[in-house]
Amino acid sequence: MAYYFLGLDYGTGGAKACVINTEGEVLGFAFEEYPFIYEKPGWSEHDPLLYWQVACRLIKQSISEAHLNPEEIKGIAVSSALPSLVMVDKNHDPLQRAYNLMDRRAVQEATWLKEHLGEEKIFKISGNRIEDHPVIVNLLWEKNNRPDTFEKIYKALTIDGFITLKLTGKPVLNYSAAGFYGVAYNLCERRFEVNLLEEIGIDISIMPELFKCEQIIGQVTRKAAVETGLAVNIPVAAGQVDCNAGWIGAGAVQEGDIQSNLGSVGNFGIIHKNTDFIFSSVGNKMINFAYTVDSEKTYVTVPSTTTGGQSIRYIRDNFSQLEVGIERSLGVSSYDLLNLQAKKVPVGSEGLVILPFLMGERTPIWDVHARGVIFGLSLNHGKGHIVRAMMEGVAYAMYDSFRLIKEAGLKINYPMVLNEGGAVSKLWRKIISDVFNIPIVLVKRRTGAPYGDAILAGVATGFFKDFSVVKKWVEYIEPMEPNKENHELYMEYFTFYKKLYKHLKEDFKELAKLRDK
């Protein structure tokens, strides 16, 4: 009898599922986008009911494509983009729309926590700044603004936790996702601080039970089996953060390994076991959480710009009707068409500089008020300039964190591996290589996070000895070396990029006050 494993991932803008065999071959794959809901400035939501509907469709599609009997699936794991929040009642039904990682509504609650608890205290416990961990912060927003909803919360889950709940009936939280609850979650001791939760008015009972990423937490229920086409009693792992899943699928399993995603968010991660780094001044500027490989002892530090690949999707969706029309009629990717225009533009985009802060910014500036800026626009600039300048702006935003980590001396194994989303753009990869001044490669198999989830399912069920199996399956292609002259010019533009943000920092705050009137 053959054995297979199913992975399911929820990104910021869509979900993917895949089925692999014991040789790491992808036999079935499915993808579906879902819409963002921007009801008010600073809000970014999804319809949580869609999450499960999408799961049912993707699971059926991937199983059908793999031509297998669901009884042959021996394990399942789910991941999602974080931070996210799905509040459910005792019947496991969502109480409100789901928060996704671009939501920035709880500014007042974050300020209150800083003033009431102190930023230093929060950092010493959570290993993270308060700004990027809105699960507990957003729960406070619910308490303050929708008390009726807050009183009905049975469990506060992540997206992957919600899907795992629908599959198994068990409300759980894996160690890697738990770091995104922040504030009262003790990162190194892997527990919630009950007294601290009580101090801020949140009952520990709404927090899910904690598990190692590699742990089996339940089995597929009969109800879930009927709705998804799965077999009853398939073991389900605790799951992981989506970036962990993507990086594992592309071979990041050792300390010092570095990989980058250009999905909706632009980020990269470095694996380590250095708690001293986490609690250093540089670590304080980054995002830190448990890594899936040995999730009790291993961490990943992740610098992140809020709108990475999403920035190019924004240009496509709002200003590229021609390219989208050509894609519909001829099947040529609208992104490829935008890349062709950007490729004709020289390094530096002929003096066009973009601050890509379309939904505030994370590392290392942590500015919820920051917004996108196109600076230096002239009549000689066309769409290609804007696309390239946006790519360069995202690269600057990521490099801003990279230079700090490099200076801090954290071990880094080169080349950096580029993985999902916008990484398929050869132009964007070249820009990143030149800005960072490091060698990079592209992973050949870009099934992405669900592939890493399927590997986690295989490890959790004992069919794979450990995560090192992926080293036999992964292949890297299209190596790139940085161009010295390009790097030097980019550093001049980077210096200007930093100066531009500094000049506008207070203006962003003033604009926010006008916007919120």
Residue-range domain boundaries for the chain = 4-243, 309-401+485-515
Provide the mean pLDDT of the chain. Answer: 95
Same fold, 4-243 and 309-401+485-515: yes
**Pair of tokens at residue 41:** 């400035």
pLDDT, tens digit (0-9, with 9 covering 90-100), for 9-38 = 999 889 999 999 999 999 999 999 999 999
Of the chain, the percentage scoring pLDDT greater than 70 comes to 99
Mean pLDDT along residues 400-405: 97
Would you say residue 368 has pLDDT above 90? no
Domain 4-243 carries which CATH code? 3.30.420.40
Tell me, what's the pLDDT at 419? 86
Predicted TM-score (pTM) of this structure: 0.91
Task: For residue 304, report the phi and psi dihedrals to the nearest 5 degrees.
Answer: -150, 135
At residue 482, φ and ψ (nearest 5 deg) are: -70, 150
In this model, does residue 139 exceed pLDDT 70?
A: yes
Q: In CATH, what class is 309-401+485-515?
A: alpha beta
For position 132, what pLDDT does the model report?
Answer: 65
pLDDT reported for residue 494: 98
Torsional sign, CA 264, 267, 270, 272: negative
Q: What pLDDT score does 382 carry?
A: 97
**Exposed e or buried b per residue across 340-370, where buried means at least 16 C-beta atoms within 10 angstroms of its C-beta:** ebbeebebbbeebbbbbbbbbbbbbbebbbb
pLDDT in tens, 418-459: 987 788 899 999 999 999 999 999 999 888 899 999 999 999
Q: Write out pLDDT tens, residues 218-270.
A: 999 999 999 999 999 999 999 999 999 999 999 999 999 999 988 778 889 99
